[in-house]
Amino acid sequence: MAVKLLKSKTGEASSHKYETLLKLTILSLGAILSFSTRLFSVLRYESVIHEFDPYFNYRTTKFLAEEGYFAFHNWFDDRAWYPLGRIIGGTIYPGLMVTAAVFHYVLNFFNFLVDVRNVCVFLAPLFSSFTTIVTYLLTKELKNESAGLTAAVMIAIVPGYISRSVAGSYDNEGIAIFCMLLTYYFWIKAVKTGSIAWAAACSLAYFYMVSSWGGYVFLINLIPLHVFVLMVTGRFSHRIYVAYSTLYCIGTILSMQIPFVGFQPVQSSEHMLAFGVFGLAQILAFIDYLKSKLTQEQFDTLFHAVFSLFGIIVIGAVSVLLITGKISPWTGRFYSLLDPSYAKNNIPIIASVSEHQPTAWSSFYFDLQLLVFLFPVGLYVCFSNLNDANIFIILYGITSIYFAGVMVRLMLVLAPVMCIMGGIAVASLLGKYIKDIDQGSKSHEKKTVKGRDSQQSQSRRSEISMAFVGMLTFFMVMYAFHCTWVTSEAYSSPSIVLSARSYDGSLIIFDDFREAYYWLRMNTPPDAKIMSWWDYGYQITAMANRTILVDNNTWNNTHISRVGQAMASPEDKAYEIMRELDVDYVLVIFGGLTGYSSDDINKFLWMVRIGGSTDRGSHIKEQDYYSSNGEFRVDREGSQNMLNCLMYKMCYYRFGQMYTEGGKPTGYDRVRSAEIGNKDFELDVLEEAYTTEHWL
Amino acid sequence: MATSTSRNIFVFSILLVFLAQWAAFGNASKRKEASTLSLAERVQQLTDLSNKRPVIRMNVAKFNEYVKGTPRNYSVVAMFTALSPQRGCSICGAANEEFTIVANSFRFNSQVFSNKLFFALVDFDEAGSIFQSMKLYTAPVFIHFPAKGKPQSHDKMDIQRFGVEAEAVARWIAERTDVQAVARWIAERTDVQIRVFRPPNYSGTMALIIVSIVVGGLLYLKRNNLEFLYNRHAWGLASLFIVFCMTSGQMWNQIRGPPVVQRTQNGISYIHRSSQGQLVVETYIVFLLSSAITLGMILVIEAGKGKADIRKRRVMLVAGLGMFALFFGMILSIFKSKAHGYPYSFIMS
């Protein structure tokens, strides 16, 4: 519908006031749309926080809101990573929590009594409304206002972005995309005007970005890349010099204020491009200055001498720093972007996370639909009309599409540029033809080639144009339908509350996760240590308020591996490990009764792999857990190791006496469609503490 | 490639000669029982054979003699396969190459055990009866015949799980021989680890060298005029190419290595049936379709620019529009067949 409005806007561009009104209407509609389309899950379930990481963010935000910033900064969390603990202030990006806490504070100051949890739940949709507006501004700078409006409406509903910013997914990415686009907007402004004020604004936005997401590394490589390309193509000018120097100086100093980032901006290789380009910009500017003062011959001699001297010094300095280890090598996650097979072969813990998988074409289509095809068209339009700003958006598009191809989760970075390019493409597709339609009614049309055409061909042309515009509108409407469908089907279910359709079509809601956490909170001593697989770590600390061994911040591979070994060992061995780790309770998630497929048995192979990846767990081999045919089975034919390990025993304890599905024997596992192999057994060293209603 | 075929032919002819000799010998000894040869004799013969060629090709008689015959103090790793072209077993060829690499590697770097482990090959067309007696219905199969007793279930290598790469085969053999080795050669044991030596593959290096020569040459020839580096059409095309590669999932292919096509009951299918996976051919189709859609839209834009004459522009417009609609419908229908329950379609169902 917004597209239609847009069309009428470009059509009746006569009255200035009317146009402004329409623009505002479209923008505010877009913003409201982007907010409301993300509310599916709240309407369907309730205002809960989704997934795993957001629980940690929620817990820290609550702490921040209650205790104040300085206590937050110095917070040593003894609930996580037992027995190591975790220094929260120094190991997270605080931007998200601070934002939410500020919103909470402001609202309460004006006596709108809102819970911290509700602020957290609705923060991501709110910021996506902001993103809509920023996208409009950015695209307006790149092309024109109609492109901006189209892009804004597109980004309001693009599934690739919604996937990370539905209500309740309270995660860094939710606000980081806003920060990123804001930074780009200011950067384009700074490049266009060359004013220090815009560049300073840009570095402030950059600071906000750094404080909220680790993905800022993409940003601090993209902007220097832009400057570099401008240098190579001979477009380097004083405007860019001013903009980049200001941004780099202020931005770097500000980013170093984040404790988690620390001295990385001047030490790690990821930031070296920015530093190198900064140096290059100084040199180029200096050369320009010298050129204006010296004769050509003097300049040439000086240039050669200085160039060779400088080159030797730089190479020497870099190699010394590399040898002494001052410049850190690239971190694993980043390296896995450059060499796609790196992570798969070397770090099982990175490969185990589904967000780090490569992207199949269907997920591109699923997340972007029409934009997949509009993007190249936008690219074409940008190429046929190159300027400083367009070069930036081209670079952004190409780099982000590469990264999105390597890792599904980086689709998020790609989605905004897809929308911007799509907006540009649609604007240039529509622009000409809408004018043609208008031509029939408007007499004061610009003098173009059309003036020479005969009256008859003009009317036919207007028909063709009408057909084309109609079809494009149809496609846009289809895009809107697709986006809504994807959002409601795929991205709006909080993984903490599950739902299923029963045979008569009514909705059953499984709330076993929360039941289990609540039980832990109420029935265990406050200093109990709970062992679970790392996915559930954040949720246990946030909802049950108990100490856990490992959580979703996977920085310590050996510790996670130890837990994996415990889960994969037979009971007596596992008991030793658990004594060593001082465990009181063990939590497993089992979906055999309800048919919930991402339970611990299905994650078990990753536990084995991660458990076996360190020295102490080298006796755990993946093959031992396969049946003789090389399959992963839980029934009679499963391997003995599998049927006797701790995880199996805990999951299927007393399951052998359960009838789960009509016509099937007892102990029938609905996820793996098999009757379990080891039915009657007793737990020797553990005892069953509590099993939730649906055995989850 | 050419060298390897010629080598194969050469080997094949050796094999023929050798088979002829052996047939004569076999006929002579056929009337005796297979195990009349003493252990030492058999080991000696096997060693000789494997010195000629690391993978010993077996027929029925030889198989009964060396592999089934008792007593043994050596293990045999046999590959059961069907190499003849009319069988059309492509993986057998690949497996054979890998197996030969393993055998060669073993010969060249574990001299100590050269008479403890032998590599054998049984072809279905030469010795089909062995397949029947072993109850084998598929090929290729790797079976380890331990020095004592019959092969157990774990002595059969599961290529579904391990793959047929030389490294995997070597690791598997090391594990299996470990089992026996621990019992028997405790004192003298050094691990039967087969370090795989692959004949190095120069094609990547060659390609790199050729590309750099071509680029360097072009730059050298055109050194007075570097304008072509600033050609925006070239850059534009290159970036469009990258975009299509990525959106059609070539990176996924690169990392996951899916099969080119899939065989199902209904013949060959080019489209993977779930949205989680994709086939190589499928990505090419998507690549072409999406570039066609884009081309259609670009035609529409160009038609609107108004430089060429009116008729030509109208043709461009209609063609572009048609391409856009048609190919979009096609890609939508492909997607719909992959994502089950997707409600929308256009032109095609």
Contact A380 B236 (CB under 8 A): yes
pLDDT band at residue A184 using 50, 70 and 90 as cut-offs: very high
Return the pLDDT at A206.
93
Angle of helix A571-581 relative to helix A557-568, nearest 10 degrees?
150
B31 interfaces chain A, CB cutoff of 8 Å: no
Rounded to the nearest angstrom, the minimum Cα separation between A376 and chain B is 6
Contact B161 A623 (CB under 8 A): yes
pLDDT band at residue B24 using 50, 70 and 90 as cut-offs: very low
Cα dihedral angle (A619, A620, A625, A630), rounded to 10 degrees? Answer: -70
Contact B331 A365 (CB under 8 A): yes
pLDDT band at residue A171 using 50, 70 and 90 as cut-offs: confident
Best B161, B288, B297 member to test A by mutation, with max A CBs in 10 Å, is B297
Return the pLDDT at A183.
93
Give the Cα separation of A285 and A227 in Å (integer): 13
Give me the mean pLDDT over the B67-88 stretch: 73
Assess whether pLDDT exceeds 60 at residue A609.
yes
A448 interfaces chain B, CB cutoff of 8 Å: yes
Return the pLDDT at A205.
93
Between residues B218 and A95, which one has the greater pLDDT?
A95
ipTM of the complex: 0.74
Find the closest chain A residue to B286 by CA distance.
A361
Average predicted confidence (pLDDT) for chain A: 76
Return the pLDDT at B191.
40
pLDDT band at residue A132 using 50, 70 and 90 as cut-offs: very high
Give me the mean pLDDT over the B4-30 stretch: 44
pTM of the model: 0.73
Cα dihedral angle (B232, B238, B243, B249), rounded to 10 degrees? Answer: 180
Give the Cα separation of A404 and A357 in Å (integer): 10
pLDDT band at residue A636 using 50, 70 and 90 as cut-offs: low
Return the pLDDT at A447.
41
Assess whether pLDDT exceeds 50 at residue B31.
no
Least confident interval from A30-34, A129-133, A186-190, A570-574: A570-574
Interface of A with B in 232-291 (CB under 8 A): 233
Q: What are the distances in angstroms from CA B269 to CA A494, B264, B273, B280, B338?
A: 36, 7, 9, 11, 12
Contact B249 A361 (CB under 8 A): yes
Contact B255 A428 (CB under 8 A): no
Q: How many CB pairs under 8 A join A and B?
A: 149
Between residues A442 and A123, which one has the greater pLDDT?
A123
The string of pLDDT tens digits covering residues A368-417 is: 888 888 899 999 888 888 888 889 999 999 988 888 887 788 888 899 99
Give me the mean pLDDT over the A276-286 stretch: 87
B240 interfaces chain A, CB cutoff of 8 Å: yes
pLDDT band at residue A133 using 50, 70 and 90 as cut-offs: very high
Contact A376 B310 (CB under 8 A): no
Interface of B with A in 302-331 (CB under 8 A): 304-306, 310, 314, 317-318, 321, 324-325, 328, 331
Find the closest chain B residue to A629 by CA distance.
B158
B150 interfaces chain A, CB cutoff of 8 Å: no
Return the pLDDT at B12.
44
Return the pLDDT at A493.
67
Return the pLDDT at A179.
92
| Three state DSSP letters for chain B | CHHHHHHHHHHHHHHHHHHHHHHHHHHHHCCCCHHHCCHHHHHHHHHHHHHHCCEEEECHHHHHHHHHCCCCCCEEEEEEECCCHHHCCHHHHHHHHHHHHHHHHHHHHCHHHCCCEEEEEEECCCCHHHHHHCCCCCCCEEEEECCCCCCCHHHEECHHHHCCCHHHHHHHHHHHHHHHHHHHCCCCCCCCCCCCCCCCCCHHHHHHHHHHHHHHHHHHHCCCCHHHHHCHHHHHHHHHHHHHHHHCCHHHHHHHCCCCCEEECCEEECCCCCCCCCCHHHHHHHHHHHHHHHHHHHHHHHHHHCCCCHHHHHHHHHHHHHHHHHHHHHHHHHHHHHCCCCCCCECEC
Q: What are the distances in angstroms from CA A18 to CA A15, A25, A432, A446?
A: 5, 11, 21, 21
Residues of A in contact with B306 (CB under 8 A): 432, 448-450
The string of pLDDT tens digits covering residues A35-94 is: 888 888 787 777 777 767 788 888 888 888 888 888 887 777 776 666 666 777 777 888
Give the Cα separation of A127 and A179 in Å (integer): 9
B16 interfaces chain A, CB cutoff of 8 Å: no
Of A375, A431, A471, the CB nearest to B325: A471
Best B158, B231, B241, B251 member to test A by mutation, with max A CBs in 10 Å, is B251
Of A361, A394, A468, the CB nearest to B239: A394
Q: Is B191 left (phi over 0), alpha (psi -120 to 50) or beta?
A: beta
Assess whether pLDDT exceeds 80 at residue A119.
yes
Of B239, B254, B310, the CB nearest to A457: B310
Interface of A with B in 321-340 (CB under 8 A): 340
Of A380, A404, A450, the CB nearest to B246: A404
Give me the mean pLDDT over the B322-330 stretch: 87
Best A230, A233, A365, A482 member to test B by mutation, with max B CBs in 10 Å, is A365
Return the pLDDT at A655.
66
Give me the mean pLDDT over the A235-241 stretch: 87
Return the pLDDT at A246.
92
pLDDT band at residue A446 using 50, 70 and 90 as cut-offs: very low
Contact B242 A626 (CB under 8 A): no
Contact B294 A468 (CB under 8 A): no
Assess whether pLDDT exceeds 90 at residue B109.
no
Question: Considering chain A, what percentage of its residues have pLDDT values greater than 70?
Answer: 70
Contact B242 A402 (CB under 8 A): yes
Rounded to the nearest angstrom, the minimum Cα separation between A622 and chain B is 11
Contact A359 B249 (CB under 8 A): yes
pLDDT band at residue B226 using 50, 70 and 90 as cut-offs: low
Return the pLDDT at A207.
93
Contact B252 A468 (CB under 8 A): no
pLDDT band at residue A582 using 50, 70 and 90 as cut-offs: confident
Cis peptide before B71 (omega within 30 of 0): yes
Between residues A244 and B349, which one has the greater pLDDT?
A244
Give me the mean pLDDT over the A338-358 stretch: 55
Give me the mean pLDDT over the B225-249 stretch: 79
pLDDT band at residue B187 using 50, 70 and 90 as cut-offs: very low
Residues of A in contact with B243 (CB under 8 A): 375-376, 379, 397-398, 401
Find the closest chain B residue to A234 by CA distance.
B230
Find the closest chain B residue to A623 by CA distance.
B161
Assess whether pLDDT exceeds 50 at residue B326.
yes
Return the pLDDT at A318.
75
Return the pLDDT at A311.
83
A623 interfaces chain B, CB cutoff of 8 Å: yes
Q: Which of A450-459, B40-49, B326-335 reaches the highest mean pLDDT?
A: B326-335
SS3 A85: coil
Return the pLDDT at A5.
44
Return the pLDDT at B314.
79
Question: Considering chain A, what percentage of its residues have pLDDT values greater than 90?
Answer: 12
Assess whether pLDDT exceeds 50 at residue A8.
no
Assess whether pLDDT exceeds 50 at residue A668.
yes
Assess whether pLDDT exceeds 80 at residue A572.
no
Rounded to the nearest angstrom, the minimum Cα separation between B218 and chain A is 19
Return the pLDDT at B183.
33
**What are the residue ranges spanned by the domains of chain B?**
39-190, 231-338
The string of pLDDT tens digits covering residues A494-546 is: 666 655 555 555 556 666 777 777 777 777 777 777 777 776 777 777 777 77
Assess whether pLDDT exceeds 60 at residue A329.
no
Rounded to the nearest angstrom, the minimum Cα separation between B96 and chain A is 22
Best B179, B252, B289, B328 member to test A by mutation, with max A CBs in 10 Å, is B252
Domain B39-190 has CATH 3.40.30.10: yes
The string of pLDDT tens digits covering residues A549-559 is: 776 665 566 77
SS3 A86: strand
Return the pLDDT at A442.
47
Between residues A434 and B288, which one has the greater pLDDT?
B288
Return the pLDDT at A234.
80
pLDDT band at residue A245 using 50, 70 and 90 as cut-offs: very high
Assess whether pLDDT exceeds 80 at residue B250.
yes
Give the Cα separation of A200 and A314 in Å (integer): 29
Return the pLDDT at B91.
66
Return the pLDDT at A52.
73
Nearest of A216, A213, A202 to residue A134 by alpha carbon: A202
Rounded to the nearest angstrom, the minimum Cα separation between A630 and chain B is 6
Contact A485 B344 (CB under 8 A): yes
DSSP assignment of A273-284 equals HHHHHHHHHHHH
Nearest of B107, B102, B234, B229 to residue B169 by alpha carbon: B102
**Tokens encoding A311:** 């080159």
Return the pLDDT at A131.
92
Q: What are the distances in angstroms from CA B298 to CA A118, B47, B64, B301, B302?
A: 47, 70, 71, 5, 6
Residues of B in contact with A418 (CB under 8 A): none
Return the pLDDT at A9.
46
B286 interfaces chain A, CB cutoff of 8 Å: yes
